[in-house]
Amino acid sequence: MDTKIAVIILNYKTPELTIDCLASMEGEIEDGVLVLVVDNNSGDGSCEKIEDSITQNNWGGWCRLIPSEVNGGFAAGNNIGIRAVEAEVYVLLNSDTIIRPGAYRALYKALKQNPGVGLVAPGLENVDGDIEQNTFRYVTPVWEFMRSAGTRPISSLLRKFDVVMKPGNKPFEPQWVGFACVVIRKEVIDQVGLLDESFFMYFEDIDYCRRARTKGWGILYWPEARVVHLLGGSSGVTKISNLRRRPPKYYYEARANYFKKHYGMHGFIVANILWTAGRCISFFREKIGSKSPALREYESRDIWTGLTT
């Protein structure tokens, strides 16, 4: 197999970010590394800008652009890249990332040293070098109650259901990792399949990790590899400044899809009931003046998206 590492970058109307990401890779390219930029039908001149940069910077020996005729979302776009090349491992990489020196080599080494591990995520950091949250437990109906209540006593009592797992400086196995940057073995894709394209965007990463773990594969956090993540640069939904704003409908469609797929319709309804119970607690605290609103606008209504589909 000629391609050892296939890096797939999904672009949707972020050509400048994509070009900066490619520029950060120049010193990381070695034999067997191929970078594929999949443009998700941006329609804003992204393809021309990225192609021009590939030509002007002589990146054509290790990078090529794949224009998609449709925007099928995050999972569908990455699947286009995976289908386009046969490689030992696939790196799914957001356009809003910058590769630190040695990241690919460290991630590849992690897979070689841990044969039972199917997916590896690096230590993500922000532009200031601070570690970003990238390691998690499964999202469950109980977590929805914890999240909406937002109180320390409840969070302490139900600690084992807390989604957040502090990343730290040592490797460990979380239940799932975010796909801003993740390495996946070809054997995992052969057994588990491609990303589920019924998720347009969001929750496809936790879904895929659950599917991989069901097949017996481990998920590994490997902080020796570092990648800068410009949080929310690709979509804007997860930007710190936007965390109270109402997200696009596809976010809640993905949430519903996740709960129904892994917990059934009953689990989806229970998750929403528990969220509402928790919201009663946080709403009361807001009214008595001891807590500022922390949940998204219209969330009490939007969580029911997907109930009838």
State the CB neighbour count (10 A cutoff) for residue 276. Answer: 16
Domain 3-132+167-233 listed as CATH 1.10.1060.10: no
Chain mean position to CA 292: 28
Between CA 305 and CA 302 the distance in angstroms is 5
* CATH 3.90.550.10 domain range(s) in the chain: 3-132+167-233
Place of tokens 């704003």: 245
Bridging pattern class, strands 218-229 and 117-125: parallel
Would you state the pLDDT for residue 90?
97
Between CA 25 and CA 91 the distance in angstroms is 13
Position 255, amino acid: R
**pTM assigned to the model:** 0.92
Bridging pattern class, strands 33-39 and 3-11: parallel
Crossing angle of helices 249-287 and 204-214, rounded to 10°: 100
pLDDT in tens, 159-202: 999 999 999 889 999 999 999 999 999 999 999 999 999 999 99
pLDDT in tens, 255-292: 999 999 999 999 999 999 999 999 999 999 888 876 67
Task: State residue 80 phi and psi, 5-degree precision.
Answer: -60, -45
Between CA 214 and CA 222 the distance in angstroms is 21
- Residue 162: both structure tokens together: 């807390």
Would you state the pLDDT for residue 309?
78
